[in-house]
Structure 1
Amino acid sequence: MNIAIVGTGYVGLVSGSCFAEMGINVICVDVNKAKIDALLNGQIPIYEPGLDEIVLRNHREGRLNFTTDLKTCINNVDIVFSAVGTPPDEDGSADLQYVLAVARMFGQNIQKYTILVTKSTVPVGTAKKIKTAIQEELNKRGIEIPFDVASNPEFLKEGAAIKDFMSPDRVVVGVESEKAKELMSKLYRPFLLNNFRVIFTDIPSAEMIKYAANSMLATRISFMNEIANLCELVGADVNMVRKGIGADTRIGNKFLYPGCGYGGSCFPKDVKALIKTAQKNGYSMRVLKAVEEVNECQKTIIFKKLSKHYGASLKGKTIAIWGLAFKPETDDMREATSLITIDRLMKAGCNVRVYDPVAMDECRRRIGNTVEYSTDMYDAALNADALLVLTEWKQFRLPSWRVVMKSMNKAVVIDGRNIYDAEEMKNLGIEYYCIGK
């Protein structure tokens, strides 16, 4: 089976390489020639564990190829996936210009029945706009060519995307014809053979499932952060609370970990977009508005704890930060708590020293040399007046605290991810702050 995927960002490249791994012939398309040239030369533009190996192997074996021109390959494929970006517009709604550009390109070039499948996260109703854009291009050409549109949202977790794609909880496919369902069933047959769930729905439901899933997870995070903040005020331990409510099978224990706010490319953007979709349809998403408000406030909690500890002024203090990415196993800093924290620290007149296993270059790209970049986690702590832990990388979980304490001016640790034992830290003589205790 032959498919094309337009967009070689996170979703497009992971999806393309994994489809190729399942024996499908894939052509990845991107208008960015530099990116395509790099991929053809074996250079992977994003960090994702295991992705390098799978891309290089499938390209070498001829199942995965790259081009800048959809026109050159569209007549040899049965399905075209659209995996381009849908960044938030100024009002929070999803910007669909790239999605509609792919639809127009599709309409300009198809010569036979083909399906255009949207992998990008798009608001409910986008499929209608895509279908209209394709038909307009066919009308300009003065020809009638049958086509279908479909929705196949992705549910990939950064840092575990390969596993998520190859062993999915579920695959959701929105279609509006039996022919499209048959072709998408053929594409996902390797997954059906492994007994993974492929759920077929109508297209609007498929579009909504993606937003509803991310918004539910964001809601659980913000809810637990609210509970954690109240626990601090009343003397409860949020870790005990989390275990107690997570034992209820109706609730479960996933996404009940309090912290210093969620970030990344999905949750913040999708919550905003769903709120905006509701507004456009005359409805107010009151719960999600609160989720967003809580999260924005939670991103400042580490700075607030530091300010409370040191009192009136932080000017001249050296502050170490462990972790820049919004989560472990990625270099993604979109909407990361670290950016908010660094901004507050710099405005307060602090000297900031940072370390992250993979996101240092991304941080330089975003904020330049406004902070000091350390060679390792212990170098970051050198002469620091406080250590802020913002990302729960595995290598941060069991540091040599004796080394850290000798390096620091003052043994003050503010743990934004609750990865350390408070009693142990107290016994070591470290002034320790976490979330919800």
Structure 2
Amino acid sequence: MPQPDRFGFLHIDLNSFFASVEQQLHPEMRGKPVGVCGTMADTGALIAASYEAKALGIHTLTKVGEAKRICPEIILVNGSHTEYSRFSHEIAAAVERCCPVAHTPSIDEMVCQLMGRECEPPNARRIALEIKQAIKDDVGDTLRCSIGMAPNRYLAKIASDMQKPDGLIGLLPSQLPRAIAHLELRDLPGVGAKTEERLNGKGITTMEQLLALDRTGMHRLWDSVWGDRLYHWLRGGETGDDGAPVASEVQKSLGHSHVMGPEFRSDGGAWSVAHKLLHKASMRLRMEKFYAGAMTVTIKYALTTEQAGRMGAKKHSSGIKSKGWAMEARFKDCQDTLSLLDVLRNVWKQRPRGEEFERPFFVGVTLRELIPEDEHQASLFGDPDNRADLSKTMDKLNLKYGHTTLHFAGMLPARDTAPTRIAFTQIPVQYGVEYM
């Protein structure tokens, strides 16, 4: 059935977010090419680039060394993830002044659901312009965003990518699907390199070919109900989930990982970093009111050229050829740091030995099998050594003065390493004086 020409969602995409925050914090960087780094090593990759850098061909994931070759004058900065989290929360508050934020897909994206007369195109456009102005007034004039307006979330996301920076694009049902026929298959959310290759193998190489399929053809192409949903979304229809991934009702895991600096690439250094990661994860576990029943420890080891050729190594995103190891341990659910540290210590003893396992450069610690506090069954034998009380006391001090104020001695060498990093699909939360 024909859809009325109304918008249901606004998708707000912050443009070059990390680099824009740096330019807001440092006025001397404005108008200049800026690259935000995870690590300053030439083999590291940029996690963001300003629009001045993008105009020169420097983008997210460009190697640091390549960025310097393209533009020797580029300003490289270490990412300030605490500041990015703070700005994200401030921007969300600014958007809320204009329209409630219904979803936050990532740290640099927000979705507003329109209701009633807000759905009328002139009113939706007015709200979108108010959002842009509110971000500029409340947060900073370097923070620009592109906003997509559409009948469903899937199309709103597509529209937000169609004009950057500072874009405003609306896709009305009466314009569909011809308004998106010029796009590439990779412009569709959820279509990456592997999916595009699979579609090409089935004879679909252009958006026009995809849009020419009927609902049955779309179902066959995707071999699932996803094809039926996509058929309706691309034509402005709704399927009940608005193009959003279905969220799990209960969080399944939490953890931290870190690519270590050269000074920590040894057994002792890696252990202290793992200890620091567990310290952060166990504190978050208590703040988010969970118990954990399993832990996964991951270590990646750098290989020499000769070793890599002999073993068929994988290439890490940092460019390091590596060999990985991981182990999961299960235990009676707990949340205190000392008990979890016992588990980590036992897992660590199982790490591999040999010449190819002498140069650890990456460590990850993930707590799994999470259960809410109110579902935890207390032990009949009480709390040995008052471990829960000890963790609560540590939390009180660390929330007030910073999360590394009080800790066990094993993480002392790595106390200032492994700062908070942003996973784009999860925004760090402020606990006490810091974001984690």
**Where on the TM-score scale, by shorter chain, does this alignment land: which range?**
under 0.3
Relative to its length, the structure with more strand (as a share) is 2
Q: TM-score, normalised by structure 2?
A: 0.28
Q: TM-score, normalised by structure 1?
A: 0.28
Relative to its length, the structure with more helix (as a share) is 1
User: Of the two structures, which has the highest relative contact order with CA contacts closer than 8 Å and spacing of 6 or more?
Assistant: 2
